[in-house]
Amino acid sequence: MARMRCLWCIEPPYQEVAVLKWRGEERERLTVHLCRKHLARLKEAGQAGREHKGWWYKEGWW
């Protein structure tokens, strides 16, 4: 694991998850590490996604 902390905080990662990151027409498919709390937040956000610093994230690559 290259990144040993959560994407959104300094907690150690709980799980690696495939996410779609988007902003307007820009799309990026990537795999990120999230802590337990932020993984739960992402799942709660569902298809609507979760915004962080101007970018939106949701679980899955579609």
Give residues in contact with Zn ion (CB under 5 A).
6, 8-9, 11, 35, 38
> How near is the Cβ of 40 to Zn ion at its closest, in Å?
10
Q: Checking phi first, is residue 49 left (phi over 0); if not, alpha (psi -120 to 50) or beta?
A: left
CA–CA dist 28, 24 (Å, integer): 11
Our CB check for Zn ion shows the closer of 6 and 19 to be 6
- If the CB atoms of residues 27 and 31 are measured against Zn ion, the closer one turns out to be 31
Closest CB to Zn ion among residues 27, 55 = 55
The pairs formed by 23-27 with CB atoms below 8 angstroms and a separation of 24 or more are 23/54, 23/55, 23/56
Which residue has the closest beta carbon to Zn ion? Answer: 6
